[in-house]
Structure 1
Amino acid sequence: MPRVICAGHVNWDVTLRVDHLPEPDGEAAIEAQSGAGGGSAANVAGGLAGLNVATDIFGSIGDDGHGADVEAELADAGVDCETLVRADGPTAVKYLVVAADGRVMVLGRDGVNEAFSATDLPAERLAAADHLHLTSHDPETAAALVDRAHEVDVSVSFDPGRRVGDRGFEAALDGADVVFLNDREAAAALDADLSPRGRTLVLKHGPRGAEVRTPTETYTHPGFAVDTVDTTGAGDAFAAGFLACRLDGDNYDRALAVANACGALAASALGARTTLDWTAVDRLLDGE
């Protein structure tokens, strides 16, 4: 079984379900409220574990109740939390305002979700992994992790997220073997050299599917039509499905189909962390 280390943000999410996203100076009605673990690294780790991939989480949580709850959720999902850093201070909290049509607005209180450095990941743990998946966090830490992974022949993927245009991720992007971007992120990263030269570029087009660009080929998949409830975490579920397939030796066509199915399952459920499993994925792939 392949082993993946997911590095980046580990948060507590508060989801506010509203009737609509208000305009400036406007107001919306809160129809429901819930709390659960979130953060891109944690979301991908949970998705991979659900797809039977051995997964470690590398990030930082606070010494508060939210941190304890996040760790317990990840452990219950089958994620190995030994490399999770416990820092003094509050766990990061994200407030996800979700409209009836699935659109999302995010408010954040960062807390200690970047209170870890590349050297906090034990060398033997990294060397034992088959793949390192990076999500948005401190750019210098991300770049150092890319270098450390390549020194021990561990492949790297990077999903920089919505802040790709303003956080200085050029070094990590340049060193990653696989880069995940949605349309808005790709536009924001125009100053970076994202040509497939020696790497795989995965472009997520939301309800219009996705494509893979390699140095020699382009692959596409149209996606799946589902009733969108909440798009939070759909990209993380997509990445989990893609990586699970590629690490198992599947081709790009299969990986794109499974990734789009995972993203669609996440978009059709409330909350950032969707429980993924092969039964649900195969049912969507088979058109049930």
Structure 2
Amino acid sequence: MDTQNLSAPPRTPSAVAADPARSRRHTGGLIHENTRHTERFTVIGNHLTQHKELSLLAIGLGCHLQSLPTGAPADIKSLASRFKEGTTRIAAALRELEAHGYLRRERVRTATGRIVTRTTSCNQPGHRREAANTDCPAPTPRPTASGRAPQRRPRKALPAVPQPTQAAATALHQQATDLLTALRRHDPRLLLSATDTAHLAPGVIAWLEREVTPATVRHALTTDLPDAPLRRPAALLAHRLTAQLPPPPPYRAPAAAPPPVRHPLRTCDTCDRAFRAPETETHCRDCRTAAAATP
């Protein structure tokens, strides 16, 4: 990816650059002022930089990935810490690149048994890289009436999931993520990517804030799964989280305040007046006030 081409001849100057007078007469359009690179440069094809279907964010991210050295972190979290677009937009751009063959992401198991995501950046989709003896995936075009092969469309977005309150989303985020990550222990087909987990987590939180236990959520997501291979397990889980969402818990009225204490009637030892007071009081209020005022 970080290919240096020190022996490439310099670009032939354009007619505008070779003729200063013509440059002064130029009134519109782009003019290039090019200086030949001799270090720290990457060769990137115009098929990527001028792609007609990729978004500008996907094109820029594709160029950035091709410029990174082998072994550089290329996951969503690392890219979001480098750029300000955020995890949602970066994840969408990665899906675009993946759909058009510029990116390949695979879940592989290391020698220690850990599952990691291996990201491969392809500078020419469909061409073999001889050094690694691997193929960059190319889009699978369908023939059209005109005989042209259109580009493969981006992967269809996952169905929406229920959204929790902001307070619950903050307090229960880790619990929901752990629940989704552990689903593969119940069925290996439910191995989810980091992007799919982030999409489904709010739906799980919406269940948990309705006083549903994690075991109940897990049972709803893993019971009666089809026997056939799951082509998009995240889409199935998103559907279940929405279709089987339980109602909110019943309203619980706050506990009523206890009634005020009503003391029994008793007779003042001084004036024989009836008054209500605890058993410890033997004089009415007037007598207590008069006794306190007497020197």
- In the superposition, the TM-score normalised over structure 2's length comes to 0.22
Q: Which has the higher contact order (CA 8 A, sep 6+)?
A: 1
In our comparison, the structure showing a higher alpha carbon Rg is 2
**Structure with greater strand percent:** 1
